[in-house]
Structure 1
Amino acid sequence: MLVTTTVCMIGLLTLVGLATDLGRVQVARNELQVFADEAAMAASFELDGTMVGLSNARAVAAAGPGSGVTTNHWYFGTQTVAGATVTFATSPNGPFDPNPASPLGYRFVQVQVNGTVQLYFLPILPGIPGWQNVSASGVAGQSQLDSLGDGLAPFSPDAHSDTDPNFGFSAGQLYTLRWAPPGKRGKTSGSCPGDIGYNPGSSADRGYIDVGQGNGDAGLRDAIVNNTYSLSLPLEVGTTLDEVSGQKSVTTAVNERYAQDSDLSALNFGSYHGNGRRLYTVAVNDGGSPGRVLGFALFFLQPSPCGSDNTTPCCAEYVGAAVLGSTKRGAGTAGLYTVQLVR
């Protein structure tokens, strides 16, 4: 009886020990997975279609969540994750490349990490080593959206082309957010540089649209400054825009928005390092009457964007792809993107 009890106790303790080791392996793997997922997410925000963006993404991914500000521990909080492998792809399913020859279109990041966990009980079994290798892989990237219901600026630039991925716009050029009154449009004094010679028509429309604020002056000002309105039905490609008519003055509101940025000295988007207040995500329209959404894009406010009065146009620099929650240009063609964990 005593022998049987002893054998049973040994067997029970062995099972508890094996479960302990397996649990330690699972916890360590989960810790690495959290690092890989969060590092891939953080790195995805750095991708902007440039080699510098790829380099920044590598650095952010290697540093892990918090970009190294907070030490990223694993192995039950006792070790720092190191040696992350970072690769890039144009598709969430790959193929992934550590060093793309061209950065264009690389919107996805894969972060892989490895480690070893010491085993205390499993090695009593024949052929089981004292250490177990564990690994984790996370893939995140800029996924394209075809609609947006909140956060849009109440402006809608007219596309110069409905077939060009960039709407006929050139990155770095200034285009019109608010048109000058009829009679001044198309002229040098009444047009932004990129729209000289282009006339949107003779209607009283100035380029304002309803993004949930309605037609009142106070709502339009609030939408320009705060972007806090939302639509019950999101705008998507093909949606007919609800234009806001009238000779409303928005110069003060745009200047207020501009002044809230942490970088007021940058003369163009290429030298910008601010908090995003000088950036507008807008719906670009097809130039029809009424206009329909052709796509979405990011624009940058340069100094004194609306001039000094209500008869001059409001100009903004065309940037390209807009990434929600980011102050950087997206890595894809013009459009609206959001950073998501893919797998």
Structure 2
Amino acid sequence: MRASRLRRAFAVTVAAGAMVFSVAGASGSAASGMPAAPRLPAVTADTLAERYDANHDFIERSARAARRMGDTARAGHLAELGAAGRQFLSFDSRDDGLAVEVLGDLAHADRVVVVVPGSDTTIDTFDELGSRYAALAGGARAVRAEMRRLSPGTDVAVVAWLGYHAPRTLSRDVITTARAHEGGAQLRTLLAGVKAANQTAPVTLMCHSYGSVVCGSAVASAAGGAAPLDNLAGIAVVGSPGMGVRSASDLAVRVPVWAGRGADDWIAGVPHTSVSVSGATIGFGTDPVSREFGARSFDAGQGGHSDYFKPGGLALRNLALIGLGHGEAVSHG
């Protein structure tokens, strides 16, 4: 009982501190001078190219607008995102931005992986967040490269999904479920779009840090009545503070749920609890790597919070095997 009270007190203290030290979220390009996102056709196999082309043009227009406003940093990031050959299913350059990049041939892939990022992911950090592999785009590329290395005959598509407004690490949003609930609904929409583009490919979610709360919200029982998730084949969470549920059995889908945490990941010290404070839910429940949660544990190596997608790492190898549906080959923690 005393330990429980201490955990709750700690959670409230963290919440108060986060409210005090909340950081500013928007780039200078949040101004109204940025163009509105284009109107796009519904996602199907036949409309992918049209969406990619429209978003490429939109990114170029957004880069020009950022330069006119004197936001050279945002303009530089947009220029990189608008490089030839990149495929964006969705894009929005306003504020922190939204971006959904497709690596590979989504319509004809044998397996699809969706990488869901955690805090501090914006269109400005999409390609680099401390390092290339720690950023969403780099992590997604590393997963695809490892899957293709392990199974050269498998056609793999990976979606780098920044389809929600990720919280900042030093903000009150990062310890509440509000952003995750909003993101969960958008993630279900993405999964429905993947199914519309590719009727047969099994989809695996790979969810990092706060992104695992988003994934939990997307597949929680409370989300019933939304689009079905019959293309979902598995979920892997890494560096997770919790999925917002008490156990894997609280999820609405019966697919393998995997959880891994690096030996040097600071997230292990976060209190795994959930309390209600002033109408907000603070904390994300049971530790996914604990026996009580009921996930399948896998070995994520000795790395830290940003090392799960590091090329050559044990965590990346196991994630790639999970994405390929080779659970029997995954090494366990």
TM-score range, shorter chain: under 0.3
Select the structure of larger CA radius of gyration: 1
Q: Greater strand share, 1 or 2?
A: 1
Higher RCO by CA contacts (8 Å cutoff, separation 6 or greater): 1
Q: Greater helix share, 1 or 2?
A: 2
